[in-house]
Structure 1
């Protein structure tokens, strides 16, 4: 099967969409598919390499950090894709590349599948002063966009229910994103353990200190203010919080840490190499988050696979990941955070048991191979439903 994946985000950007799409591409190829990617270039130039088409784009930095808007699609690129004739077009973003995905699918008369990664109503502060108005805008936008697809993939039941509340009528398939479990795993060799110790030392963490780690974009919707407030309220001088990532909210977080009197116990790593992120998980004792904007929480799953118990703000979307008392705890409020943190850090036997359960749970539920197989099955079902409606596969000139 020939599959075209379209996405506004691609490497070297680090986010859940990029991680999901790159994993899907690798697994589909392992299953015998031929896969190409259509994405946005980091500048005005259009170019292609190794089956990835980069369409020239303009910065949309004022709308969202690192966002870009695609230029009119290059005719040469479109002609090449149409000549290749993908069997399925799988869109991963709702904006520039989705327009091209829809055009290509309609021209060829093939299935258009879309993965809905982002709960946009959690981002209303970027585009609307009213959350109520923002939600109505998102519901209308999502419904109209998804009605033009043949199938929708979502990572959790939470997102499926949300789309049904928007009155989306297309077939919705819940397919959790998978992980490369050969890469995301605890340190197992003396060399890997030494690397973790050296990495801790490189950011000024002493051997006697415990590390809370969070891996995310430093943006308002990630609710990291609450993580800082919880750390301050916990009153543990032996704990260091390491924030891996960067974003537009970094300066506010630095200022807030100073206000709370915990600046010396917070480390900001900035952007790290996506291929090195597993090293950062391995320096931690506990993964922490207060985000309520997750569709699945891919970094939560990565942390699990690396053996970190989770301590997170209560959120229905995390129920399959954070199993209270087994893989970690979901909490509400500073007092419950302090209580569970003390349990995790002061009871080594319990924490080690949770660490083992985290790794086992990730292996049982988050394998990349199962992810690829599930998506491929969606393609097959969608093509079967569409077959009677396809009259021609003749290429229409771009």
Structure 2
């Protein structure tokens, strides 16, 4: 099958949608499919080696570091894709490249499958002072966008429930994103571990928490900073990523007197991400805006337990007492942190369970096969509709 993946963000940007798209491309190629990616970049190009089409665009860094947008298509790239004649388009974004995908699908008369990666109602503070109004706008726009696709993939049951509440009528399949396990299970040397810790002034023997992702208001990192200010036995906290809330977080760290314990790494190369998990002891997250929580999966695959705010998106991912803890308030957070810091046997058991759990439920192979089944169903449904229309 010839499959075109479209996404407004792609490597070297880092977020859940990018990670999912990269993993999906490799998984589908391993299954024998021919896969190409249509994305955005500073300047348009065609990379024949990696099968990437990039359309020239402008940055939208106020929304996300590395984010891009364009109102135009690239005629040469569009013609190249049309000549290739994909059998199906799988869209990963709802904006610039989605518009291009609709043009290609209409011209070639092929179906679109869409993965809904982002819960936009959690981001309405960026464009609407009213959360209720913002949610109504998101609901209407989501229904409108998804009316143009044949099938929808939701990374978690939480996303499925949200889309059904919006009134989306397209068939929805819940498929957790799989990851390339080998990237996170290839251990780094003790010298590399020491070097990365030393770069940020983190003592080798200290217990290190890590958070990785976009530094946006909706990620609620302020909560973890506040909790750490109350913890009597001090730990270090490495924040990997960038975003519009970075300066506020830096000011919060200063105000709480945590400058010696909290370290901002900024954006790191996707090739280096696995190393940052492995130099850490515990993954923490206080966000309730996640659709799939890929960073949770990556952390567990790296062999470190997780301590995260309870949320529907991770109810089957972070299992209390098995691979980490979900917390509802400070006392939960404190208890989970101390349990893992002070009980080495418990920590080792959970670290081992973390890697086993991910290998069982979140492999890229299982991910690719499940998505492949959605493609087959979407193509069959699309062609059946065409036959019905021809018989009218």
TM-score range (shorter-chain normalised) is: over 0.9
SS of 1:264's partner is coil
Q: Which runs of 4+ in 1 moved over 4 A?
A: 62-65
Which residue of the partner structure matches residue 216 of structure 2?
219
Match of 2:321 among 313, 325, 337: 325
SS in 2 for 1:295: coil
Which of 290, 299, 304 matches 2:286?
Answer: 290
Counterparts of 1:272-291 in structure 2, within 5 Å, are: 272-291=268-287
CA shift at 1:64, angstroms? 4.7
Which residue of structure 1 lines up, in the alignment, with residue 360 of structure 2? 364
Unaligned runs of 5+ in 1: 392-398
Superposition map of 1:301-380 within 5 A: 301-380=297-376
Contact 1:3–1:87 (CA<8 Å) still a contact in 2? yes
Q: Indicate conservation of the 8 Å contact 2:62/2:244, yes or no.
A: no
Alpha-carbon distance, 1:202 to partner = 2.3
Counterpart residue number, 2:150: 150
Q: Displacement of 1:58 after TM fit?
A: 2.1
How do 1:131-142 residues align onto structure 2 when only pairs under 5 Å count?
A: 131-142=131-142
Instruction: Determine the C-alpha separation between the residues in 1 that align with 2:294 and 2:324.
Output: 16
Q: Is the partner of 2:93 in helix, strand or coil?
A: coil
Q: CA deviation at 1:332?
A: 1.6
How far apart in 1 are the matches of 2:34 and 2:111? 16
- Give how far 1:248 is off: 1.7
- Counterpart of 2:176 in structure 1 is 176
Matched residue of 1:183: which SS? helix
Query: For 1:233-286, what per-residue CA distance to the aligned partner results, in whole angstroms no more than 9, with x for missing partners?
Result: 11222x100111122211111110111111110011111111011000001111
Partner SS, residue 257 of structure 2: coil
Q: How many residues align?
A: 385
Q: Is the 1:234–1:337 contact (alpha carbons within 8 Å) kept by the matching residues of 2?
A: no
Check conservation: 1:285, 1:309, Cα contact below 8 A: yes
Q: What TM-score, normalized by structure 2, do the two folds share?
A: 0.95
Structure 2 counterparts to residues 186-225 of structure 1, below 5 A: 187=187, 192-225=189-222
Matches of 1:325 and 1:139 in 2, distance apart?
37
Aligned runs of 1:12-161 on 2, under 5 Å?
Answer: 12-42=12-42, 45-50=43-48, 51-161=51-161
1:232 has 2:229 as partner = yes
Q: Residue by residue, what CA displacement relative to the aligned partner does 1:354-392 show, whole Å, maximum 9, x if unpaired?
A: 11111110000110111111111110111111223447x
| 8 A Cα contact 1:156 1:175, kept in partner | yes
Secondary structure of the residue aligned to 1:274 is coil
Tell me if the contact between 2:64 and 2:243 (Cα under 8 Å) persists in the aligned partners.
Answer: no
Asked if 2 retains the 8 angstrom alpha-carbon contact of 1:233 and 1:338, the reply is no
> Is 1:241 equivalent to 2:237 in the alignment?
yes
1:71 CA displacement: 3.6
Distance 1:7 1:116 in 2: 12
Partner deviation per Cα, 1:278-311 (whole Å, 9 max, x = no partner) = 0000011111110111001000100000011110
Distance 1:60 1:280 in 2: 27
1:396: which partner in 2? none
SS at match of 2:148: coil
Q: CA deviation at 1:63?
A: 4.8
2 CA distance for matches of 1:89 and 1:76?
Answer: 18
- For residue 65 of structure 1, report the CA deviation from its aligned partner: 4.4
Q: Distance in 1 between matches of 2:302 and 2:354?
A: 8
Q: Which residue of 1 aligns with 2:390?
A: none
For residues 155-206 of structure 1, what are the alpha-carbon distances to aligned partners after superposition, in whole Å with 9 as ceiling and x for unaligned? Answer: 001100100000000000111111111111262xxx6233213221222111
Task: Report whether the alignment pairs 1:299 with 2:295.
Answer: yes
User: Retained in 2: the 8 A contact 1:3–1:34?
Assistant: yes
Separation in structure 1 between the aligned mates of residue 26 and residue 62 of structure 2, nearest angstrom: 33
* Contact map agreement 2:63 2:244 (CA 8 A) in 1: no
Deviations 1:121-166 (A, max 9, x none): 0101111101111111111010111011000011001100100000
